[in-house]
Amino acid sequence: MYTEKVMDHFTNPRNMGELENASGVGTVGNAKCGDIMRMYFDIDENGVINDVRFKTFGCGAAVATSSIATDLVKGKTIQEALQVTNRAVVEALGGLPPQKIHCSLLAEEAIHAALWDYAEKNGITIEGLKKPKSDIHEHEEEETIEY
């Protein structure tokens, strides 16, 4: 059911924990399954994500997607981080079972939420970033993703 990569990130998650004095913190949930994901970004003056941590209260797929998502955004610019979509996360994991695709949406939305928080704290606008939802359940209903 799960790829080796998913199992690896689930059993040995990268970048788990919190960052004190994070530049941006984003929290998203899914009311349907009750899972919650929080991401902490440390962004430097050049707009590079120097450090990142996550805390996920959720299913194994949510833990694995948070872990790989943090790996994918670490060391990247804000614009590069915006390219880390749920599709990119699923691809990096070598796939997810269809009923678990929604878990990867949490990761994409948590990245957006952390960047949104950073932008708000600094009074800036990040091109291409829309206000993230705090609950992806609504969004999930609209999305039909085929893998």
Residues of this chain that bind ligand FES (CB under 6 A): 30, 33, 35, 58-59, 61-62, 103, 106
Please, which residue, 23 or 56, has the CB nearer to ligand FES?
A: 56
Among 7, 16, 33, 119, the active-site one is 33
Length of the chain equals 147
Kindly tell me which of 33 and 126 has the beta carbon lying closer to ligand FES: 33
Q: C-beta of 43: minimal distance to ligand FES in Å?
A: 26
Comparing C-alpha atoms, which of 90, 108, 87, 119 is closest to residue 28?
108
Nearer to ligand FES, 34 or 128 (CB): 34
> Is position 59 annotated as part of the catalytic site?
no
Alpha carbon distance 54, 98 (integer Å): 24
Report the C-alpha dihedral over residues 13, 139, 129, 34, rounded to 10 degrees.
Answer: -40
Active-site positions read: 33, 103
